[in-house]
Structure 1
Amino acid sequence: MFGQPKSPRFRAALAGTMSAGLVLGLAACGDSDSDSGTSGSNASAAAIDCAPYTKFGDIKGKTVSIYTSIVTPEDTPHIDSYKPFEQCTGATIKYEGDKAFETQVLVRAKAGNPPDIAYVPQPGLVKQLVATGKAVPAPEEVSANTDKFFGADWKAYATVDGKFYGAPLGANVKSLVWYSPKSFKDAGYAVPTTLDELKALSDKMVADKKKPWCAGISSGDATGWPLTDWMEDFMLRLSGPETYDKWVSHEIPFNGPESTAALDAVGAYLKNDQYVNGGLGDVKSIASTTFQDGGLPILEGTCEMHRQASFYAANFPKETNIAEDGDIFAFYLPGKDAASKPVLGAGEFVIAFADRPEVKAFQTYLSSDTWANEKAKISSGWVSANKGLNQANLKNPIDALAGKILLDPNATFRFDGSDQMPAAVGANAFWKQATSWITGQDTKTTVDNIEKAWPK
C-alpha cells in the first residue's frame, strides 16, 4: 500500500562515505554534561551522563538486536557509537546489516520474528510495519526527545493513526547543487541565492559557451528516481510546503496545475538542449547515464552544475578535494527568494518491535543529543537533523554544509515525496513516466499517466 524505500538505489552512492577504520574508545561514564558535543571533538576522551538510562532498571547482560540496511563499511561508526550506552548500562547491542532489509523486515515482522529495533528508511515502510501489528509505540522518553530535538514535522513522519512509533536517526539533504569552486571563481560566477538567479546563471554559462548542467537517471530497476527528486524540489519551492503535503498524500491530483508547473520547471533545465547534458550527450543521454556518473563531468570542465543529494560525494574519485575551496563542493538549491529555505531530504526512523526495558533505554539513547554528537565525531558522510547536534563535530565539509542547512531555524524540511506515495506511484509509475518524459514524452501525458496509477 505504500512506496518501497529508495535506500537500495542509494547504497552504491553511499559506499565509501563512512570512515570504516574509525574506532571510538570511551572513558568510563561519568557525570558530565549530557550534551557530549560540548566536550570537544576528541571522542576517545568523551564521557556521557548515564543517568537517563537508570530509570529503566538493571539491564546489565541484556541484549538488544538491531536490523538495518546499513552495511559494511558504513556499519562501523554505527556500532562504535553504541559503546557509550553499552558501558553505561552493561547491555549489549547486536547489529545486523542486510542489503535485503526492505523486503526482509516485512517478512520477519509478518512471520512474528522481527528484530528488537529496525532502522526504517522511509515513512511508507513505517506504515507498512505498523500495519503488521508487530511494531510498538515509542516510549514517553523517546517522544519527549523527539519533541525537543527534532520537532513536529519530523515526528509526524513516524506517527500512524495518532500513535508515535519512532524518532529520526540520520538524515540527508537533497536540495544541493554540486559545482567546481575553481571554475566559478575563474569565470566570476556567484553562487545563486534565488531561483531567478539560478536561471540567470545558467543563461550566463550558455552565453559563455558552456553547458550549465549534467545529469544521469539510470539506476537499474529504479531508473528515473533522480527526476522525482528534481520534481519534488520544485514542487516544494513553487507551491510551498502545505501544497507539497497535499500532493504527496493525493489530496490534490498528480496531474493538477501545481504538479504540472513543477515538472515544466524541471524541464526548463533538463529538457533544454542549451543547458544539458554537459560532457555526456544530448537531453536523451540523461536516461542512459547512470546517476553515479551524472556529476562527474564537473571534474572535466565539461559541465558546471549537478543537482543531487549530499550522499553524492561518494561518487567522486577518492583523491577529489571536496571542500568550499576544493575541486568540488555544493551549494543549497535556492528557493524563490533568499529568505525562504525549503529543504528536501530523507532519513531513517528507529522502529521497535519489543517494549522490554533495555529496548526502551536504547531507543532513548538513539533519540538523544548525546548519541547524535557521539556519532558525528566518528563519522564521515553522516548528519542528523537533531537540534542538539554540535555542528563543530561535523568535520567533513559536506556534512557540515548539510548540517547547517538542516539545522537552519528558517529551514522548512520536507521528506522525499515519492518515498511516501503508494508503491504503484512512488516506486513505479513516477520513475517510469519520468524516464519517458526525459526521452520525449510531453508533460501532460506524463502527469496524467502517473495520476492514473494512483490506487483507487
Structure 2
Amino acid sequence: MRRPAVRHTRAALSGAAALGLALTATACSGGASAGGGKQELSGQTVTVAGVWTGVEQQNFKKVLDAFSEKTGAKVVFSSTGDNVSTVVGSQIEGGNAPDVVMVPQVGVLQQFARKGWLAPLTADIGAEAKRNFAQIWKDYGTVDKTYYGLYFKASHKSTVWYSPEAFSQAGAEPATTYQQLLKTGHTLSDSGVPAFSVAGEAGWPLTDWFENIYLSQAGGENYDKLAAHKIPWTDRTVVKALGTLGKLFGDKSLVAGGGSGALRTDFPESVQQVFGPEQKAAMVYEGDFVGALVTDELHKQVGKDAKFFPFPSVDGGKAPVVSGGDAAVVLKAGKNRKAAMDLVKFLATPEASSVWAKAGGYLSPNKKVPAADYHDAVTRRIATSLTAAGNSVRFDMSDQAPAAFGGTQGAGEWKLLQDFLRDPSDPEATAHKLEAAAAKAYGK
C-alpha cells in the first residue's frame, strides 16, 4: 500500500526545521520518573518505527519521553520514510525488526496482519481503547476479528478553509449545504475572486473530494461497501456522487484556472493561492493539516487570516467526517514484546495524547483528551468535531484500497479522477472506468 493522503503533506508541514533533521534513529531519554512512575521497565529498550520526520518526529519523541519517565524504559525511534511496508519487511527478514510500528494506513495494517507479522494486542489495551475511543477506531484496527492496531494520531479531512477577507469583501458566508457552497462560490467569483483552488496535480486530494460527497450523499453503509468493493463503482450512488462533484469541477467560475489549471496545482500551491501574498482563490478544501501549512510556511495566523468550516452536507445527508490516522502495532519479530505492549497501552491513554496535543500539529481520536490541552482554539474545534462524530467517522476510502487502485500516481482512482477534473461531462463513463480499475486491483 502507498502512503495515505495526509502523508503527502508531511514535507510541506514540517517546514524548514525538517530540512535540518537527519532521518536516523533518535534515542529517547529515560531517567527518573517525573510523575512518580514505578520504573518497572528500567534497563529495557523498546524500538519504534514510523513515517514521521521533522517536527512530527520531535513531538512524538516527547510522547515517548513521557513513557520513559513513567516506566524507566529507553525508547529508540527510527523513521522508515514513506515506504513502511518495504522497510519493515526488510527489517523482519534481517532479524532486526522494531518492537512497535506506527502504521499509516488501514490497508498497510491489514497487509501486515495477513502476512502474520503482528501480535494481537492484549486485553488490557483493548479495555483501555474501549474506555477512550469510539468503537469505529477499534474496528479499523481489527483484522479478521483480531485487534492489532491502536489508533494514536488522526487527521480530519472534512474541513473547508477560507479567507475571511475575501468572504467579507464579497459578503459571503460559510456554507452548511453543498448547494449553498456552490451559491457561495458564485458570490465570490462575481466579486472577482475564484471560489476554489483545487490541488489536482496529484490525485489524492481529488479522492478526498469524492469521499466527502459520497459519505454524505450515499451514507455510511454504502461508503463501507464501496470501500470494500462489495458494491461496484458503477453503482448508481457512485454515478450520482460524481455528478455532484462535477457541478463544481465543471464550472470554470468556481475553480481557479479551470480544470487545466487545477491539474497543474500541487497541494502546497493550492493553499498558497488562497493564503499567500497574491490571492488567486477564496477557498481550499483539504484536511486539518492546511492550518499547519498556513502557519509554518505562509506565516499567517490561523483563526484570523485563515478559518475553516465543516465540509457541508449533501442532499440532506449528514455532514461528513472523513479521517485518516496512524496506528501502533506490535511485531511478532520484535525482541521486547512485553514492553512494546506496555508502550501501546500508554499510547491508548489521554495522558499520552495530551503530550502531543500541547505541542501542536496533532489530533487524537481519543475522546478523553481534554479540549483545553490542544495547542490553539482552531485545533481544539477540529479535534472536538472529530471525536463528537463518534462512530459516524469513516476512514479515508482510498487508503483502504489496494495501492494499485487507491494510492498510485498516474494510475487507478487518482488518474481517473484527474481525467474527470479535466472533463467531468460524463460521470457514468468515469464510473465504468473506475470499476474496471478497481476490479483489476482487487483481483476480481
TM bracket, shorter-chain basis: 0.7 to 0.9
Cα deviation, 1:58-84, whole Å, max 9, x if unaligned, reads 321001000000012321111122222
CA shift, 1:394, in A, is 1.0
Counterpart position of 2:327: 349
Partner of 2:221: 242
Instruction: Give the structure-1-normalised TM-score.
Output: 0.85
Match for residue 273 of structure 2?
Answer: 297
In structure 1, distance between residues paired with 2:302 and 2:7: 27
Q: Tell whether the 8 Å contact from 2:30 to 2:74 is kept in structure 1 after alignment.
A: no
CA spacing shift, 1:394–1:205, aligned 2, 3 Å: same
**Cα drift, residue 90 of structure 1:** 1.1
State the match for 1:334 in structure 2: 312
CA shift, 1:432, in A, is: 1.0
- Which of residues 421, 429, 454 is equivalent to 2:412? 429
Supply the distance in 2 between the matched residues of 1:425 and 1:319 (Cα, whole angstroms).
33
Equivalent residue, structure 1, for 2:434: 450
- Pick from 341, 361, 367 the counterpart of residue 381 of structure 1: 361
Q: Aligned partners of 2:360, 2:316: CA distance in 1, in Å?
A: 29
Query: Amino acid of the residue matched to residue 297 of structure 1?
Result: Q
The question of 1:85 aligning with 2:60 is answered no
Query: What's the CA shift for 1:210?
Result: 3.3
Separation (CA, whole Å) in 2 of partners of 1:18 and 1:198: 37
Residue 216 of structure 1 contacts residue 289 of structure 1 at CA under 8 Å; is this kept in 2? yes
Aligned-residue CA RMSD (Å): 2.7
Q: Which runs of 5+ in 1 are unaligned?
A: 30-46
- The Cα shift of 1:293 comes to 0.3
Residues in 2 aligned to 1:331 and 1:18: alpha-carbon distance in whole angstroms: 29
2:100 equivalent to 1:117: yes
What are the superposed Cα offsets for residues 163-192 of structure 1, whole Å, 9 maximum, x if unpaired? Answer: 000210111111111111222233332222
Pairwise CA distance, 1:95: 0.6
Partner of 1:37: none
Structure 1 position 63 matched with structure 2 position 45: yes
- Match of residue 372 from structure 2: 392
Q: How does 1:223-372 map to 2 (within 5 A)?
A: 223-277=202-256, 281-299=257-275, 300-316=278-294, 318=297, 320-324=299-303, 326-336=304-314, 340-354=318-332, 356-372=337-353
Q: Supply the distance in 2 between the matched residues of 1:409 and 1:224 (Cα, whole angstroms).
A: 27
Secondary structure of the 1:138 match is coil
State the distance in 2 between where 1:417 and 1:49 align. 43
Native 8 Å contact 1:63 1:94 kept in 2: yes
In 2, the alpha carbon distance for the partners of 1:116 and 1:27 equals 21
Q: Indicate conservation of the 8 Å contact 1:248/1:421, yes or no.
A: yes
> Aligned equivalents of 1:260 and 1:184: distance in 2?
32
Q: 1:137 aligns with which of 111, 120, 141?
A: 120
> Residue 68 of structure 1 contacts residue 120 of structure 1 at CA under 8 Å; is this kept in 2?
yes
Q: CA deviation at 1:348?
A: 0.4
Post-superposition Cα deviations, 1:81-134, rounded to whole Å, max 9, x if no partner, equal 222221221111111013144231233345554210000011100011112212
Instruction: Give the secondary-structure state (helix, strand or coil) at the position aligned to 2:263.
Output: helix
Measured in 2, the distance between the counterparts of 1:318 and 1:10 equals 12
* Residue 146 of structure 1, CA deviation: 1.3
Equivalent position SS for 1:67: strand
How far does residue 331 in structure 1 lie from its aligned partner after superposition?
1.5
AA at the equivalent of 1:366: L
Distance 1:363 1:107, change over 3 A: same
Decide whether the 8 Å contact of 2:367 with 2:387 is kept in 1. yes
Report the TM-score when normalising by structure 2.
0.87
How far, CA to CA, are the matches of 1:108 and 1:233 in structure 2? 37
Change over 3 Å in CA distance of 1:142–1:49 after alignment to 2: farther
Q: Which moved more, 1:355-364 or 1:385-394?
A: 355-364
Rounded to whole Å, the distance in 1 between the matches of 2:371 and 2:357 is 9
Question: Using the alignment, how far apart are the partners of 2:177 and 2:427 within structure 1?
Answer: 25
Q: In the alignment, residue 366 of structure 2 is paired with which amino acid?
A: N
Select 1:175's aligned residue among 154, 158, 163: 158
> CA deviation digits over 1:375-403, x for unaligned, max 9?
212x2211111111111111234422321
What letter is aligned with 1:426? G
Give the 3-state SS of the residue equivalent to 2:220 in structure 1.
helix
Quick check: 2:4–2:324 contact (8 Å CA) kept in 1? no
CA contact (8 A) 1:121 1:347 kept: yes
Moved more, 268-277 or 201-210: 201-210
Q: Is the 8 A contact 1:293 1:315 kept in 2?
A: no
Instruction: Kindly indicate whether the alpha-carbon contact (under 8 Å) linking 1:168 and 1:350 is maintained by their aligned counterparts in 2.
Output: yes
User: Is 1:188 aligned with 2:164?
Assistant: no
Say if 2:159 and 2:311, in contact at 8 Å, map to a contact too. yes
- Alignment partner of 1:408 is 2:388: yes
- Which secondary structure state, in structure 1, belongs to the residue aligned with residue 176 of structure 2? coil
Question: Which residue in 1 is equivalent to 2:25?
Answer: none
Indicate the residue corresponding to 1:95 in structure 2.
77
* Structure 2: stretches of 5+ with no match in the other structure: 22-27
Structure 1 letter corresponding to 2:361? G
Taking the aligned partners of 1:67 and 1:80, their CA distance within structure 2 comes to: 15
The answer on whether the counterparts of 1:18 and 1:380 sit within 8 Å (CA) in structure 2 is: no
Do 1:4 and 1:124's aligned partners in 2 also have CA atoms closer than 8 Å? no
Aligned residues: 422
Change beyond 3 A, Cα 1:374–1:209: closer
Q: Judge conservation of contact 2:251–2:258 (CA < 8 Å) in 1.
A: no
Structure 1 distance, partners of 2:193, 2:389, is 36
CA distance in 2, matches of 1:194, 1:338: 8
Which of the pair is proportionally richer in helix?
Answer: 2
Is the deviation greater in 258-267 or in 225-234?
A: 258-267
CA distance in 1, matches of 2:168, 2:344: 46
Q: Which amino acid aligns with 1:84?
A: A
